[in-house]
Amino acid sequence: MMQEDAFAMVTQSHESRLTISPAHIAALRGMLGPKGFSDDAQRIAAKCQDWRGRYQGHTGLLALPGDVEGVSRLVAYCASHQIAILPQGGNTGLVGGSTPQGEVLVSLERMNRVRGIDPLNATLSVDAGVILQTVQETAAAADALFPLSLGSQGSATIGGLISTNAGGVAVLRYGMMRDLVLGLEVVLPDGRVLNTMRGLRKDNTGLDLKQLFIGAEGTLGVITGAVLKLFPRPGAISTAFLALDRIADAPALLRLCQHRSGGSVTAFEIMPHRGLELVLQHIPQSRAPLETASPWYVLVEISTLNEELADTLLAAMLESAFENGLIRDGVVAHNQQQSAALWGLRENLPEAERAYGKAVKHDVSVPISSVADFIRQADQIVREHFSEAEIIAFGHVGDGNIHYNVSAAPDQQTVLWQRAEAITESVYDCALALGGSISAEHGIGILKKDDLANRYPLEAEMMGIIRRALDPGRIMNPRMMVD
Ligand SMILES: Cc1cc2nc3c(=O)[nH]c(=O)nc-3n(C[C@H](O)[C@H](O)[C@H](O)COP(=O)(O)OP(=O)(O)OC[C@H]3O[C@@H](n4cnc5c(N)ncnc54)[C@H](O)[C@@H]3O)c2cc1C
């Protein structure tokens, strides 16, 4: 079969799955019961628009199942009638993966129970619709820590975070979501329930099947529950905001901080001076933390047993960094309020960027040792495409993840967007040439589907094989990730 014919077949079959007949909608509503779906136009509209306002969708049915049995019945019906499904959590995903285009939209919002906590096993079991902040608060109430932390934590759900294998600011110490999941409950594409809700740190009973669903973006099943790992809560957290002359010094500074603090660094974030300027301009109540400007800043956080130890370690770290010429200035937070103000400068950067204007955004990663090379090479090539580019490269450099955003003054926006595709291709070329990735933590969704197919052909083919084996009718998120 010609490649185009095969593609036409795939496209055609997607479309037929995306059209739900009124009879099927009526049958599904009857099955879900009055609480199990919604007709409310406003509620549906909010779930059909993505967080960045880039994707606008629609659905014939918003399903709101209340338990795993409800999800299982719904999926089994859809499988036997070839109806497409799109699971949704907090709708904060950034790659278009949670916007329906005709699929039955399965919201997990009613599945929001904390199922149980086992302090001695250091595990927490939850429904997949529980919001991250609730998980953090539940852990804290039991004097434990659930370390995943990111800007969308007030809305993002455990199911969505697992499905996108989310990262955030504490990855260098605790890992990504994949590292924090011990067990899963998943409704498979035929409606059967896979239950691996075992809170075990050691479990070598063959293949670790739960790993398939972590980062699968809803293409292999609906996650309905999870067992999460908990950690001891640090007694003290100290934050410092440091000024650097050269981004090239950041990896050596990270290494020094790790060594001097006995591996206690929990966050290591960079931002350029232009980023700080935007925050000071657009975010009310934000204040410059240092008297003089520097090209780059690092926000470093260490977590330790008690404040005395934190102060001692931080002082030793900074003294050594000054002595080695890695930093030129710095400020240490002396209380929680000051720490929140320093974190605000970093966390409000995306908001400040948004207020300034649209940006061509890239979520890439490279080995930590190549961060400076990446930024230098990408800056050079982006400016060859567009000399007026304003580049804001910031993010979780402690784990090699850079949010490399290219913006422009309001009167240059049209030119920027005319060159956006060429800019993105070049940024991805630079990341890959340095052994990096075109998607560090946001996933593939719709946004990067073609890039995955074109730049990782064998991996995309293998993902397709797994997908066809588990979901031969291709009802789960059919437009997403790989064909
Ligand atoms: C302000 C902001 C800051 C962010 N910061 C970070 C960050 O620092 N690090 C980072 O990694 N990400 C970040 N993100 C993006 C991040 O991916 C999401 O916030 C989160 O992981 C998605 O969770 P959600 O519940 O909103 O999922 P949704 O957006 O609803 O869904 C995301 C994907 O998962 C699928 N899905 C959702 N629930 C399920 C389920 N139960 N079973 C199967 N599939 C499911 C969906 O179909 C979709 O493909 C940020 C987003 C925002 C808006």
What digits encode the pLDDT tens for the residues 29-60? 999 999 999 989 999 999 999 998 899 999 99
- In ligand 1, the atom with minimum distance to the C-alpha of 445 is 49
How many whole angstroms from 51 Cα to the centroid of ligand 1? 10
- In ligand 1, the atom with minimum distance to the C-alpha of 161 is 21
Residues 56-76 have a mean pLDDT of 97
Question: Which of 92, 161, 299, 399, when mutated, tests ligand 1's pocket best, judged by the most ligand atoms within 8 Å of its CB?
Answer: 92
Residues 180-204 have a mean pLDDT of 97
pLDDT in tens, 296-318: 999 999 999 998 999 899 999 99
**Distance in angstroms (rounded) separating the CA atoms of residues 201 and 208:** 12
One-letter identity of residue 64: L
**According to the model, what pLDDT value does residue 8 have?**
42
- In ligand 1, the atom with minimum distance to the C-alpha of 93 is 29
Segment among 3-7, 345-349, 439-443 with least mean pLDDT: 3-7
Q: How confident is the model at residue 5 (pLDDT cuts 50, 70, 90)?
A: very low
How many whole angstroms from 442 Cα to the centroid of ligand 1? 8
Residues 466-475 have a mean pLDDT of 96
- Residue 441 CA from chain centroid, whole number: 5
How many whole angstroms from 82 Cα to the centroid of ligand 1? 26
CB 123 within 8 A of CB 199: yes
Residues 63-84 have a mean pLDDT of 97
**Distance in angstroms (rounded) separating the CA atoms of residues 406 and 404:** 7
Q: Is the minimum distance from the CB of 129 to ligand 1 under 6 angstroms? A: no
Q: Is the minimum distance from the CB of 105 to ligand 1 under 6 angstroms? A: no
Q: Is the minimum distance from the CB of 147 to ligand 1 under 6 angstroms? A: no
CA 446 vs CA 122, 468, 478, 481: distances in Å: 36, 18, 11, 6
Q: How confident is the model at residue 2 (pLDDT cuts 50, 70, 90)?
A: very low
Question: Which of 72, 162, 163, when mutated, tests ligand 1's pocket best, judged by the most ligand atoms within 8 Å of its CB?
Answer: 163
**According to the model, what pLDDT value does residue 397 have?**
87
Residues constituting the chain? 483
Q: Is the minimum distance from the CB of 166 to ligand 1 under 6 angstroms? A: yes
- In ligand 1, the atom with minimum distance to the C-alpha of 151 is 3
How many whole angstroms from 91 Cα to the centroid of ligand 1? 6
pLDDT in tens, 347-373: 999 999 989 999 999 999 999 999 999
Of the two residues 213 and 17, the one the predictor is more confident about is 213
Q: What proportion of the chain, given as a percentage, has pLDDT over 70?
A: 97
pLDDT in tens, 227-279: 999 999 999 999 999 999 999 999 999 999 999 999 999 999 999 999 999 99
**Distance in angstroms (rounded) separating the CA atoms of residues 463 and 466:** 5
Q: Is the minimum distance from the CB of 215 to ligand 1 under 6 angstroms? A: no
**Distance in angstroms (rounded) separating the CA atoms of residues 190 and 472:** 9
**According to the model, what pLDDT value does residue 14 have?**
67
pLDDT in tens, 87-143: 999 999 999 999 999 999 999 999 999 999 999 999 999 999 999 999 999 999 999
φ/ψ (deg, to 5) at 481: 65, -75
**Distance in angstroms (rounded) separating the CA atoms of residues 28 and 454:** 38
Q: How confident is the model at residue 471 (pLDDT cuts 50, 70, 90)?
A: very high
**pTM, two decimal places:** 0.94
Mean pLDDT across the chain: 94
- In ligand 1, the atom with minimum distance to the C-alpha of 158 is 25
**According to the model, what pLDDT value does residue 77 have?**
97
**Distance in angstroms (rounded) separating the CA atoms of residues 44 and 59:** 8
Q: How confident is the model at residue 192 (pLDDT cuts 50, 70, 90)?
A: very high
Question: Which of 88, 180, 437, when mutated, tests ligand 1's pocket best, judged by the most ligand atoms within 8 Å of its CB?
Answer: 88
How many whole angstroms from 443 Cα to the centroid of ligand 1? 9
114-118: strand order across its sheet: 114-118, 123-127, 222-229, 181-187, 193-195
Q: Is the minimum distance from the CB of 254 to ligand 1 under 6 angstroms? A: no
Q: How confident is the model at residue 3 (pLDDT cuts 50, 70, 90)?
A: very low
**According to the model, what pLDDT value does residue 483 have?**
87
